[in-house]
Amino acid sequence: MENKPKISVVKIGGNVIDNEQLLNTFLQDFSELEGYKILVHGGGKKASEIAEKLGLQPSFVEGRRITDKSMLEVAVMTYSGLISKQIVAKLQQLKTNSIGFSGADGNLILSEKRKNTAIDFGFVGDVISINNNLLSALLSQNIIPVFSAITHDGNGQLLNTNADTIAAEIAISLSKEYDIELIYSFEKKGVLLNSEDENSIIEILDFEKFQLLKEEKVIHSGMLPKLENCFKSLANGVQSIIIGNQNVLKSKIATKIKL
């Protein structure tokens, strides 16, 4: 059986983006990753900061952002503008040829407005499809796609979309043609047994242990959707997943997710 080409789909979290030193370390390591690679970034903290400067009050329910019309405009400006171009410029400095995309560019990520939920999240999108043909064409030209957390619905409406989910959906969609490693980088060394103890890393987290830790409220809030995306990805063809801090691309210290 012919080996599939390998792709690293890497998602970088807001707390790394907000710290220039951490970001530079991470992008240096990312630029040295061999083979095909795709970067997905969030930037929620920066979006909240800019919103407050504009006199807008960010609103959250259970850690998830409510995106009204004004907040959507801030999210698009921040994610697909400021952060996207800063990351691309830094990658070009590292001789890593990249292009920043939203989901609307090249119809790369089609979404629909979230529905059937008790809470109205506003202009928040759930991914429907990924344009694999264009993504593969970009990769074949040695272009590294850098995705912001903005998608579109095909009817002219931009949507704020969870960056962890975008990374997972890209990984799942490409897994038929490629051997996929999905990597989540955020401020912690991995998934922790005790959020106060940086060294309480769970080295291997399988689904059974995840369910147990969820029931015990050890894993909660923002880690829940991240890990749910991980297990969904593994169940749908993604080969391996690791979660760690800005050093995750080179460090041996991280959490490996298994079914």
Q: What 3-state DSSP class applies to 17?
A: helix
Question: How many C-beta neighbours within 10 Å does residue 171 have?
Answer: 31
Which residue carries 């992008």 as its tokens? 27
Cα 134 from Cα 154, distance rounded (Å): 16
* 44 is known to lie in a ligand binding site: yes
Output the CA torsion 11→14→18→21 (10° steps): -40
* 64 is known to lie in a ligand binding site: no
Q: Is 139 left (phi over 0), alpha (psi -120 to 50) or beta?
A: alpha
* 160 is known to lie in a ligand binding site: yes
The dihedral through the CA atoms of 25, 83, 66, 234 has a sign that is: negative
Which residue carries 């043609």 as its tokens? 177
220 vs 35, 38, 204, 228, CA distance in Å? 34, 28, 18, 11
Q: What's the burial of 206, exposed, middle or buried (CB within 10 Å: 0-12/13-18/19+)?
A: middle
Amino acid at 229: N
Output the known binding site. Answer: 43-44, 65, 160
Output the known binding site for substrate. Answer: 43-44, 65, 160
